[in-house]
């Protein structure tokens, strides 16, 4: 381990369904609030699911000029805003001397869905000559990473891994590896998503993947509850500054927590359903623990993938028990998707933020709406009320369609 660089988190920028800012998100999830309500971004009267966790009252003009804002898809507006908040929070000053030492890994599971749908309408109604020249670049999933580099002159590694709901986890994990191996000193890493659109909602409804508890939006996302009926889509972006400990100490940066391990795997099972026994998920958790060089018993808290789907929650529970054995009964698991919904490609970033803040503050955010626990989900899911308890080590699980799994381990920085 001595030849590896320790990696810490020195900045975070959050645009969540609760609003802008890390404290806004953290205070809301700790208090067990729900950001889920009726869809207002489009007329959802004809869809089976009429609810989502939208980012309300978002003003892109606070983070970029109005001309750029008009060109950008919503998912890119979110990432530009989250990146600015992260850069401001980190205190990093980009210079000609360090710009090659700062990279970017920001992903999106779906990309510019809004601009895609709107541009198709233009094509059908007005013809090909009216299609915007910005359509192609602004719908691409890699554009948030590219735009972050352009806005701040960052000339280190720049990429976007796309693995559906595991996207942000993979981007954070690979960024962590780059710093640990000494290839770069800092990386902006995270995810962004804005897919609350007619086509996206219709597609997920056709799959029977989303909740249709339209009469009780704030109770619709209920991971590990016997009455769960699917996930609730959310939107937003979280970007964090990962940095070598030496670099952070040299510039006197504040440190939120340390990243110590990353694991990934494939289910090799089905294009949407997880392996029913959680074999791939379990392997990714084992690989993250091995990478972190810690025993399973060290983990105090797992922020679960916990989507509130009938199959997924059971499979993840089985995976946790495979990895942790008897210790599974002692650790605490929760799903913040119960509060903010499922941010798809940004889920791993917002949930990693919850792990980082749990380590910093020794507070585990609750799984809200857990009123009638599924007998097959038989772990401690921190139901409904936050728990004040020591959190030295935390784990975040992210599992994507296609059976692509990413797991991150975090440690309290002392």
CA 277-279-281 angle, to 5 degrees, is 110
pLDDT band, very low/low/confident/very high, at 273 (cuts 50, 70, 90): confident
Domain ranges of the chain: 8-250, 262-411
Average pLDDT over residues 143-166: 97
Tens-digit pLDDT profile for residues 201-258: 999 999 999 999 999 999 999 999 999 999 999 999 999 999 999 999 999 999 999 9
pLDDT for the residue 1? 42
Q: Strands 257-266 and 7-16: what pairing?
A: antiparallel
% pLDDT > 90, the chain:
97
Tens-digit pLDDT profile for residues 56-93: 999 999 999 999 999 999 999 999 999 999 999 999 99
Instruction: Quote the mean pLDDT of the chain.
Output: 97
Average pLDDT over residues 119-131: 97
pLDDT for the residue 353? 98
> With contact defined as beta carbons under 8 Å apart, do 239 and 190 qualify?
yes
% pLDDT > 70, the chain:
100
- d(C-alpha 190, C-alpha 186), whole Å: 13
* 272 pLDDT higher than 90: no
What's the Cα-to-Cα distance from 323 to each of 227, 297, 319, 374, rounded to whole Å? 27, 10, 6, 20
- d(C-alpha 270, C-alpha 277), whole Å: 13
Range 17-42 burial, b when 16+ CB lie within 10 A, else e: bbbbbbeebbebbbebebbbbebebe
User: Which element (helix H / strand E) includes 9?
Assistant: strand 7-16
Tens-digit pLDDT profile for residues 336-384: 999 999 999 999 999 999 999 999 999 999 999 999 999 999 999 999 9
Other C-beta atoms closer than 10 Å to the C-beta of 296 total 18
* 192 pLDDT higher than 50: yes
> With contact defined as beta carbons under 8 Å apart, do 198 and 150 qualify?
no
Q: Say yes or no: do domains 8-250 and 262-411 share a fold.
A: yes
- d(C-alpha 346, C-alpha 333), whole Å: 20
Active site residues: 165, 305, 342
- d(C-alpha 169, C-alpha 172), whole Å: 5
- d(C-alpha 92, C-alpha 184), whole Å: 14
* 155 pLDDT higher than 70: yes
Average pLDDT over residues 314-339: 98
- d(C-alpha 191, C-alpha 216), whole Å: 28
- The reply to whether the predicted model has a pTM over 0.85 is yes
- As to burial, measured by CB atoms within 10 angstroms (0-12 exposed, 13-18 middle, 19+ buried), residue 1 is exposed
> With contact defined as beta carbons under 8 Å apart, do 4 and 176 qualify?
no
CATH number for the domain whose boundaries are 8-250: 3.40.47.10
**How far is C-alpha 337 from the geometric centre of its chain's CA atoms?**
10
**DSSP per residue over 190-239, as a string?**
EEEE---SHHHHHHHHHTT-B---TT-GGGS--TTBTT---B-BB-EEEE
Q: Strands 186-193 and 102-107: what pairing?
A: parallel
Contacts of 286 (CB under 8 A, 6+ apart): 263, 323
For the CA atoms of 267, 269, 273, 279, the dihedral, rounded to the nearest 10 degrees, stands at -40
Instruction: Assign domain 262-411 to its CATH architecture.
Output: 3-Layer(aba) Sandwich (3.40)
Report helix, strand or coil for 38. strand
Average pLDDT over residues 258-282: 93
- d(C-alpha 198, C-alpha 182), whole Å: 44
């Amino acid at each position: 381990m001595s030849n590896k660089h320790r990696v810490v988190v020195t900045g975070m920028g959050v645009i969540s369904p609760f609003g802008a800012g890390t404290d806004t998100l953290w205070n809301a999830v700790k208090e067990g609030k729900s950001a889920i309500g009726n869809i207002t971004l489009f007329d959802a009267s004809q869809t089976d699911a009429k609810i989502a966790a939208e980012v309300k009252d978002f003003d892109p003009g606070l983070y970029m000029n109005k001309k750029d804002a008009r060109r950008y898809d919503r998912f890119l507006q979110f990432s530009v805003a989250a990146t600015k908040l992260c850069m401001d929070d980190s205190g990093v000053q980009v210079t000609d001397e360090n710009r090659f030492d700062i990279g970017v890994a920001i992903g999106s599971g779906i990309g510019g869905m809004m601009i895609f749908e709107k541009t198709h309408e233009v094509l059908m109604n007005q013809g090909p000559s009216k299609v915007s020249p910005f359509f192609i670049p602004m719908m691409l999933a890699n554009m948030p990473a590219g735009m972050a580099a352009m806005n701040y002159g960052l000339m280190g590694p720049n990429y976007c891994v796309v693995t559906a709901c595991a996207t942000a986890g993979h981007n954070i994990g690979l960024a962590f590896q780059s710093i640990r191996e000494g290839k770069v000193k800092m990386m902006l890493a995270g995810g962004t998503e804005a897919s609350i659109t007619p086509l996206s909602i219709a597609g997920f409804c056709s799959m029977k993947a989303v909740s249709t508890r339209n009469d009780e939006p704030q109770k619709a996302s209920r991971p590990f509850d016997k009455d769960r009926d699917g996930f609730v889509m959310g939107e937003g972006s979280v970007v964090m500054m990962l940095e070598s400990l030496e670099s952070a100490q040299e510039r006197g940066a504040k440190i939120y927590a340390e990243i110590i391990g990353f694991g990934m795997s494939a289910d090799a099972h089905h294009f949407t359903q997880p392996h029913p026994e959680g074999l791939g998920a379990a392997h990714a958790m084992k690989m993250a623990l091995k990478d972190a060089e810690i025993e399973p018993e060290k983990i105090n808290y797992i922020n679960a993938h916990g989507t509130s789907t009938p199959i997924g929650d059971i499979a993840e529970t089985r995976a946790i028990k495979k990895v942790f054995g008897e210790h599974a009964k002692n650790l605490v698991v929760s799903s913040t998707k119960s509060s903010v919904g499922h941010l798809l490609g940004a889920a791993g970033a917002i949930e990693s933020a919850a792990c980082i803040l749990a380590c910093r503050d020794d507070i585990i955010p609750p799984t809200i709406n857990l009123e009638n626990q599924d007998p097959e989900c038989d772990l401690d899911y921190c139901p409904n009320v936050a728990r004040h308890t020591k959190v030295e080590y935390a784990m975040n699980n992210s599992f994507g369609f296609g059976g692509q799994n990413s797991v991150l381990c975090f440690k309290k920085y002392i």
